Amino acid sequence: MLNVIHNNNWYMKKQSCIILKITNFKQFRSIFTFLVFFFVFTGSYYYIFKDVNLFDGPKGSFTVMLLIFSMLSIFTLPALFFHIDYLKRNKHEEYEIGNKRIIKRKQSVETVYHFEEIEDIYLYLTPPKYRDDFRLWAWDDYHFAKIVMKSGEVLYLTSLLYPAGLEKIFKQYMKGLSYWEVKCWFPTTLRNYSHNEKEEDEL
């Protein structure tokens, strides 16, 4: 499902810039929900089974560990998958956004993209984040943007660059550009999304 968002005020006299890059603090903020789930589930299972004699002997301990790992796999491991996916995508990259341009810096190479060179912008969000609703799963805040240039080149901006929400970057530093909000259950940069329905949803 796509939702097109229009940004106004293209002709602002002054536009500030923002630098986006992955830091340890941003990684911790992104993975914080995963850590909460991990310790809550681990502590809950230990509290539930500590008096049920399942810890007696190696077989009992294995049973408990299997139960804990199974629940963690369902509720939290996808967050680690997204974290690694996004980290590999934007590692050693820096983006400067503002003044009607995007500057990408990677390995001492600087590339400038002007806003008029952009063909489309897609922002991929989990359903709760798309609805700005309660986040239930550990990976619900993970999201990324795909910026498609008219030349065919694609830039990926992941939430590890700005965990507070990439939509805020678009609204504040990319005024005048429209972007598509795409609702998807598994927002990975490894998938090639199809947008054949875009023309039907366009306003």
Of 187 and 10, the one with more pLDDT: 187
Helix H or strand E segment including 129: helix 127-130
According to CATH, the topology of domain 2-23+78-201 is: PH-domain like (2.30.29)
Question: What pLDDT is stored for residue 66 in this prediction?
Answer: 73
Give the tens place of pLDDT for each residue, 72-98: 777 778 888 999 999 999 999 999 999
Give the tens place of pLDDT for each residue, 129-172: 999 887 777 788 999 999 999 999 999 999 999 999 999 999 99
CA distances from 19 to 22, 23, 122, 161 (A): 10, 12, 20, 9
Contact 45, 64 (CB under 8 A): yes
Question: What pLDDT is stored for residue 59 in this prediction?
Answer: 62
Cα distance between residue 32 and residue 129, in whole Å: 16
Judged against a pLDDT cut of 60, whether residue 195 lies above it is answered with yes
Nearest CA to 125 among 84, 182, 188?
182
What crossing angle do the helices spanning 57-75 and 77-90 adopt, rounded to 10°?
A: 50
Q: What is the mean pLDDT of residues 164-188?
A: 93
Judged against a pLDDT cut of 80, whether residue 109 lies above it is answered with yes
Mean pLDDT score of the chain: 82
Task: Grade residue 6 by pLDDT with cuts at 50, 70 and 90.
Answer: low
The three-state secondary structure class of 92 is coil
Sheet containing strand 109-114, edge to edge, reads 18-21, 93-98, 101-106, 109-114
What share of the chain has pLDDT > 70, as a percent? 71
CATH 2.30.29.30 domain position(s) in the chain:
2-23+78-201
